[in-house]
Structure 1
Amino acid sequence: MSYLELHDIHKAYYLNKEKFPVLKGIDLNFDLGEFVSILGESGGGKSTLMNIIGGLDRKFSGSVVIDHKPLNYKDEKSLDAYRRETIGYIYQAYNLIGHLTVLDNVLISLDMTTLSRQQRNDRAHDLLKRVGLDDQSTKYPNQLSGGQKQRVAIARALASDPKVIIADEPTGALDAENTQAVLKILDEIAAEGRLVITVTHSQTVANAGTRIVHLEDGHIGKDETIRQPYPKQDVKYLQPQKLPAIVSYKTAFKHFKFNFWRNSLIIIGTAIGLFAVLLFTGLGNGISGYITNQVNALANPQVITVSAHQKTRSPSGGSPTSGAPSGGPSSTSTKQKSITDPQITKLKSVNHVTKVEKNYSLSGVTVKLDNKTTTLTSMSNWTSSVTDNTVKYGSKPKANEVIIDKSTAKKLVPSGWKKAIGKTVNFTYQTTNKSHKTVSVPFSAKVSGISDSSSSVSMGSKDYVSTSTLVSAMNKKNVPTSVTSLSVSIDKLNNVKSTTSAVNKLTINGTRVFTAVSINSMIDTVQTFIHLASNILAGIAGIALIVSALMIIVTMFMSVSARTKEIGILRAIGESKTDIRRLFISESLIIGGLSAVLAVVISYGVSALANVLLRNLANYNFVQIGLENVVIVFILAIIISLLASFLPARRAASLNPIDALSSD
């Protein structure tokens, strides 16, 4: 039996419903070592027959047997393997890939062998040397002459070490000198023990082979041997393999570089959208962090405020609703329920509670130092809820000491407000005693430190007195020391949320006792609104991403259209539909990935500049881009790239190899 056999091959084309037979029952046998020329007029079915032999045309009747095994034309994967392992193509139009160098055009076939990288490179150079083009390996196809291009095509066809070389009009575009050179190489290939089949309408080309098959009107007119075929040889051929994914990525990157400036515009457009998303989320992070820092500077996050739980009525007189009083704690309040000692004892028993302190708030406090007098809108006792950094100068108050605000100190000591530290100041405020009579409560205390409300987000002055000093003065005037709120210290920050919840659930005789509020819960509420606003802005910026995605889609469709012939070439040398899809998806991912990199670089640059310009407002970085934001942007870029490449890559993979090869 022969190495390659064709049995009763019929092929017809259809125009609407009209049938045009091209091959009308072809029976041919071919052996290794032959140099067969299929001679016939244009349009006689020669190329159609070659496409069937080459595993490109699947729509025909009859059978093809290769090395004693029928070729399954219904199994596309089998045909991919057949072209990859057995067939090498040489075309009249050369069909070199324009964005690859001469060397890379040869390597594209070698990538589907098990050779090492160095072995593939050595073989490619050896093949180019054989066809006299090793010194042209770094050039691109458009820098070569017609004869040189055809020799590169021959080197590529030989690269994967195929047993069958199909040459479709290999000298049709060459002059006489180059024609002879190409025919000599083809004859040498047959002498190596391969089967060379050329399709030609030139008698000169046909005479160069060992056998001529005349194709006439879809039939074999004459089959003549003009000289003996070369003897079969025991040759160890290269081991083929499927195209590794890394090769598709590299090829995609080479095409990206070849069209760098066009692709750069797409990258910039996509990067702008990603930059906007990154900037707005970074701005949200910064503002949220700033508010958290400012609030934590005013109040200890490990301290929660607890008040007696009570039901309040709406202003319209509706039904009572459960909630905390809206006003701050006050020793003279009649609207808020006082907290009893048994309730405080109950509170101290809660897990993670380390300290319970009473909150006192004074209003209309008169302050006098020597002949200087001023009035404080409010004054509180110093508790664990107040952070130490509230004291800008001096130290926190101990027994018989106070902290006064910088504005208060300036009024008391205009000549040098810092001199107020260490001086004893007299205070007086009005309240109601246990007999419900209005009394004045005086007390004196030494200034231990000065706060500065102008450097924070606090409203009003920041004046504090030690609790023992205030309680002693209240007792002297028979003023009740019960309170409406408490400062409760928690052992660890991580336990604040759970402890707050536990305090809110405390009951005595089945009745809820307390309403607890933490600084963290208020911060969380503020941050929720900030993140909502920043996400809305980022969402608006996302519109730019949609435009970017459309740009990538258009670019990829244009790339598929421009590279249609390349797709046909790759399919002809054995690449599968999966390889083609991966090629275009890879290029889209390169665009998306580089867009994300550019967006991150721009974002960090702009954020650094913005933070410098905003330093006049506060010594804080208002734009904070975290690693998680960068990761999200890269994920967005990948998603956009994948979605944008899906349809173009699918279209590229579905192209008929024959139609793709015939495109201009």
Structure 2
Amino acid sequence: MAFLELHDIHKSYYLGKEEFPVLKGIDLNLERGEFISILGESGGGKSTLMNIIGGLDRNFSGSVIINGKKLDHSKEKQLDNYRRSTVGYIYQSYNLISHLDIVDNILVSLNMTKLSSSEKRQRAIDLLSQVGLSDQIKKYPNQLSGGQKQRVAIARALASDPDIIIADEPTGALDSQNTKEVLEILDKIASEGRLVITVTHSQAVADYGTRIVHLADGQLDGDTRLKPAYPVPDNEEKLESKPLSAGASYNDAFKHLKYNFWRNSLIMIGTAIGLFAVLLFSGLGNGVNAFIQDQINSMINPNSITVMKNPSGKKLSSAAFQASLSKTASQPQKLMLKDSEIKKLNDVKNVDKVEPGYQLSNFTLSRGRKNANGSNMNTWSKAITDNTVATGHKPGKNEIVIGKTQAVSLSNSKNYKKIIGKKVVISFPWINGNNRPVQVKGTVKVVGLTKGSGQTAVAAATNYSTMKAILKKSGAETKANYVSVNIKKSTQVKQAASDIKNIKTDGKYTFGAITVGDILDTVNQYVQIATIILSAIAGISLIVSALMIIVTMYMSVSERTKEIGILRALGARRKDIRRLFTAESVLIGLFSAAISLVIAWGAQVGLNKMLYGIVKFNMVQITPTDVVTTIIIAIVISFIAALLPARRASRLNPIDALSAD
């Protein structure tokens, strides 16, 4: 039984509906140890027959039997494995990969064997020594002569220890001396027990082998034995093949990335700028959130809960309750709390202190002819920290602390602190016991200045007894319109707030509760929205970067078409080709992420140094989560961008790819 058997091989090409037969019933038996030359003129079907034997051409009729087993050309995986383990190719045009040195060219095949990394490299060097190139191992293909390139191609064909060597016009581009040397090497390969098949149109080359098979017009018209086949060694050890690993694909991708470094570096920088913008805005959002939290916590005790009347009687979330408060602006009586209602708060678990008080949405301070308007005035409680007072002390009886804005309005911008110790008149609208509007006025002494003003800051404050006395003197309603409830531990605040919201009077929910956490959540939500919008704007550049990567990958596929054909001929699977391009794209993404992190770190240091003198706070805070997210975004974008080019590369016909310029 022959090692390789061809039975009734027919192959035709079609132009429209017109058929052009190329092979017309080929029957041929070939043995290991033979150096067979398939001789014939151009167009006679020699290369087509070699593509069928080599497992590259699947569209034919007939059967190919290897060592007694039929090769099923309809099963792509079987053909990949066959090319990987059984066939080695030598081409007239060498088909070396230009961006790899000659050792790496051989490693391309060896990466599909089970040898260790060190064994692969040593075998590559040994093979180059066998073909007389031991002094050239650091060179690239473009640094070699034609004869040297063909020797590298022979070494690569032998790398996976195949049983069949297919040499397609191996001496067509060589001079007479190199031709002789290459033929001697091929003869030596056959003497080792391999089947060497050479396609040639040269009678001189054909005469060098052990057997000549003549092919003309798609048919065999001659089979001449020149000398006996070489003996096949017994019990020989064979290298085991395996599919190309992901690590090998990434290594090859990295080498190609380095080869086109300057072109790829522009893409990396462009992608890095988009990633940097997203990273910077995320860090800025983190910093603003942290700054707001720091400012609020410095003025408002995080253990406190602001409790107010719930006019709706329905159980509301903190956000919904805060939104509903604006509806009571014209009906302040709905927020007045009875003493009996306030007492219920003392029964809530983990409550440390209950302090009724007053909140004013607006007020006016007067001193002589000067007036100052303000908003957000509270009575002093445990909810307000001592840090709130920047200058002076917290208010006692008939005393008030005010903000810098009011102090400047009541004095001047240079000496505004001299307002401390001076008396001012406070006035604000309120209601009386009959729910009629009244104007409340009272005289108080300024004893301190608060740190700031705003929605969450305390613009001014008196103590509860002072405010109650002023209201009573003005004939106004003295019921509290809010209660500050202090909780023993910060970890108990959330549960206490929930318990307070569940208190009922006459079957209706009595209170709404707002914690520092609720305030922060609301503020942070706005900051997050702003951050997302800014990041989305920055993300437009990522879309542009993705398009750049897609274009680059398509260019890479066009440039590496022949390489794709070489890899497929060596036994690489379609998924290996896809992974080769997605790996290169992902590496571009990873390097882009690294560049963006370096830029972002520099920007963070610079901006924080510049802004710290203004706000005494690091306003850009890039977290490990931001870093990880950026890396993931880079990988995802680069991977998705490579999918279509990689798919196109994997679908290329190996025969067409090998013939590409």
| TM-score of Structure 1 vs Structure 2, range by shorter chain | 0.7 to 0.9
* Secondary structure of residue in 2 paired with 1:29: strand
Instruction: Output the amino acid matched with 2:248.
Output: V
Q: Which residue identity lines up with residue 30 of structure 2 in the other structure? A: F
> Does structure 1 residue 555 correspond to structure 2 residue 556?
no
- Where 1:2 maps in the other structure, the secondary structure is coil
* Paired AA for residue 149 in structure 1: K
Q: Is the 8 A contact 1:407 1:461 kept in 2?
A: no
Instruction: Show CA shifts across 1:187-232 (max 9, x none).
Output: 1111111111101111121111111111122221111111121111
- The aligned residue for residue 637 of structure 1 is 634
- Per-residue CA deviation, residues 58-117 of structure 1 (Å, 9 max, x unaligned), is 111111111111111111111111111110000000000111110000111111111111
Deviation at 1:581, TM superposition (A): 0.8
In the alignment, what sits opposite 1:78?
78
CA distance in 1, matches of 2:112, 2:431: 95
In the alignment, the residues of structure 2 paired with residue 558 and residue 366 of structure 1 have an alpha-carbon distance, to the nearest angstrom, of 75
Residue equivalent to 1:283: 284
Supply the AA of the counterpart residue of 1:68: G
Whole-angstrom distance in 1 between the partners of 2:159 and 2:440: 107
What is the alpha-carbon distance in structure 2 between the residues aligned to residue 64 and residue 259 of structure 1?
A: 42
Q: How many Å apart are 1:628 and its aligned residue?
A: 2.2
Q: 1:23 to 1:306 in 2, by over 3 A?
A: same
Could you say if the C-alpha distance between residues 481 and 2 of structure 1 is closer, same or farther in structure 2, counting changes exceeding 3 Å? Answer: same
Match of 1:527 in 2: 524
1:337 Cα deviation from its structure 2 partner:
4.5
Separation in structure 2 between the aligned mates of residue 204 and residue 194 of structure 1, nearest angstrom: 22
CA offset digits 1:352-380 (Å, max 9, x no partner): 4332102146866789xxxx999886775
1: distance between equivalents of 2:659 and 2:414? 95
User: Aligned residue for 1:100?
Assistant: 100
Q: Is the 8 A contact 1:433 1:439 kept in 2?
A: no
Structure 2: distance between partners of 1:439 and 1:119: 94
Q: How does 1:58-457 map to 2 (within 5 A)?
A: 58-234=58-234, 235-310=236-311, 323-324=324-325, 335=333, 337-360=335-358, 380-393=378-391, 396=394, 450-453=448-451, 457=454
Amino acid at match of 1:241: K
**1:116-167 C-alpha deviation (Å, 9 max, x unpaired):** 1111111111101111112211211111110010000000000111111110
Structure 1 residue 549 displacement after superposition: 1.3
CA–CA separation in structure 2 for the residues paired with 1:642 and 1:407: 55
Q: Is contact 1:10-1:60 (8 Å) kept?
A: yes
Is the 2:113–2:160 Cα contact (8 Å) retained in structure 1? Answer: yes
CA contact (8 A) 1:568 1:657 kept: yes
Distance, in Å, in 2 between the alignment partners of 1:36 and 1:461 is 97
Q: Aligned equivalents of 1:93 and 1:31: distance in 2?
A: 27
Following TM superposition, by how much is the alpha carbon of 1:638 offset from its aligned partner in structure 2, in angstroms? Answer: 1.8
Structure-2 separation of matches of 1:547 and 1:444: 63
Judge which range, 151-160 or 303-312, deviates more: 303-312
1:479 to 1:28, Cα distance in 2 relative to 1, 3 A: closer
- Residue among 591, 594, 607 paired with 1:594: 591
| Residues 417, 273 of structure 1: alpha-carbon distance in 2 compared, 3 angstrom cutoff | closer
What does 1:480-519 align with in structure 2 at a 5 Å threshold?
482-519=479-516
- Does the aligned pair in 2 maintain the 1:413–1:419 contact within 8 Å? no
Q: 1:561 to 1:412 in 2, by over 3 A?
A: closer
Conserved 8 A contact 1:552-1:588: yes
User: How far apart are residue 413 of structure 1 and its match?
Assistant: 13
Distance 2:561 2:90 in 1: 18
Alignment counterpart, residue 646 of structure 1, candidates 643, 647, 655: 643
User: What's the offset of the Cα at 1:31?
Assistant: 1.1
Contact 1:275-1:599 at 8 Å conserved across structures: yes
Q: Structure 1's 373 and 302: CA in aligned 2 closer, same or farther, altered over 3 A?
A: farther
Cα distance, 1:467–1:61 mapped onto 2, change above 3 Å: same
Whole-Å separation in 2 of the counterparts to 1:657 and 1:287: 57
Q: Rate the CA distance shift 1:486–1:326 in 2: closer, same or farther, 3 A.
A: farther
How far 1:525 moved relative to its partner?
2.4
Equivalents in 2 of 1:11, 1:434: separation in Å? Answer: 106
Aligned to 1:318: none
CA contact (8 A) 2:296 2:456 kept: no
Aligned 8 A contact 1:373 1:412 in 2: no
* Residue identity matched to 1:592: G
1:190 is paired with a residue of what secondary structure? helix
Q: TM-score when scaled to structure 2?
A: 0.87
Distance 1:594 1:464, change over 3 A: same
What is the rounded CA distance, in whole Å, between the counterparts of 1:250 and 1:40 in structure 2?
Answer: 42
Distance 1:322 1:655 in 2: 62
CA distance in 2, matches of 1:605, 1:269: 17
Higher mean alpha-carbon deviation, 300-309 vs 197-206, is at 300-309
Q: Deviations over 1:309-337 (max 9, x none)?
A: 3369xxxxxxxx994367899xxx97454
Aligned in 2, Cα 1:260/1:220: closer, same or farther, shift over 3 Å?
same
TM-score by length of 1: 0.87
Alpha-carbon displacement from aligned partner over 1:487-532 (angstroms, at most 9, x marks no partner): 1123444544454344334211113322333343333223222222
Find the aligned partners of 2:164 and 2:177 in 1 and give their Cα distance: 25
Which stretch has the larger CA shift, 651-660 or 13-22?
Answer: 13-22
Tell me whether 1:17 sits opposite 2:14 in the alignment: no
8 Å Cα contact 1:6/1:29 also seen in 2: yes
**3-state SS of the aligned residue for 1:172?**
coil
**Deviation at residue 171 of structure 1 after TM alignment:** 0.5
CA contact (8 A) 1:443 1:473 kept: no
Distance (whole Å) between structure 2 residues aligned to residue 554 and residue 305 of structure 1: 58
- Once residues 651 and 428 of structure 1 are traced to their aligned partners in structure 2, the CA distance between those partners, rounded to angstroms, is 81
Instruction: Indicate conservation of the 8 Å contact 1:361/1:380, yes or no.
Output: yes
1:3 Cα deviation from its structure 2 partner: 0.9
* Residue aligned with 1:136, SS: coil
**Shift in alpha-carbon separation, 1:465–1:94, aligned structure 2, 3 A:** same
Residue 468 of structure 1 deviates from its aligned partner by 6.2
1:612: Cα distance to partner? 3.0
Q: Which moved more, 1:252-261 or 1:333-342?
A: 333-342
CA spacing shift, 1:442–1:640, aligned 2, 3 Å: closer
- Distance, in Å, in 2 between the alignment partners of 1:322 and 1:66 is 81
Alignment check: 8 A CA contact 1:303 1:384 kept: yes
Q: Secondary structure at the match of 2:229?
A: coil
Q: Could you tell me how far apart the structure 2 residues matched to 1:479 and 1:270 are?
A: 65
User: CA separation in 1, counterparts of 2:426 and 2:228?
Assistant: 126
Paired residues in the alignment total 643
Secondary structure class of the residue paired with 2:33: coil
Name which of structure 1's ranges 389-398 and 503-512 shifts more when overlaid on structure 2: 389-398
**2:373·2:406 contact (CA, 8 Å) conserved in 1?**
no
Percent identity of equivalent pairs: 53
Partner of 1:543: 540
Task: Judge conservation of contact 1:374–1:408 (CA < 8 Å) in 2.
Answer: no
State the partner residue of 1:656. 653
- Please give the alpha-carbon distance, in whole angstroms, between the structure 2 residues aligned to 1:153 and 1:624: 56
**1:396 Cα shift?**
4.9
Within the candidate set 570, 583, 589, 1:573 is matched to 570
633 and 416 in structure 1: CA distance in 2 versus 1, 3 angstrom threshold: closer
CA contact (8 A) 2:213 2:224 kept: yes
Unaligned runs of 5+ in 2: 314-321
Return 300-309 or 394-403, whichever deviates more: 394-403
Question: How large is the Cα RMSD of the aligned pairs?
Answer: 3.6
* In structure 2, distance between residues paired with 1:118 and 1:394: 77
> For the residues of structure 2 that align with 1:459 and 1:505, how far apart are their CA atoms?
25
Q: In 2, Cα distance between the equivalents of 1:459 and 1:53?
A: 81
Separation (CA, whole Å) in 1 of partners of 2:621 and 2:247: 36
Mean Cα displacement is larger for which, 517-526 or 60-69?
Answer: 517-526
Q: Deviations over 1:14-47 (max 9, x none)?
A: 1222211111111111111111111111111111
Q: Is the 8 A contact 1:323 1:515 kept in 2?
A: no
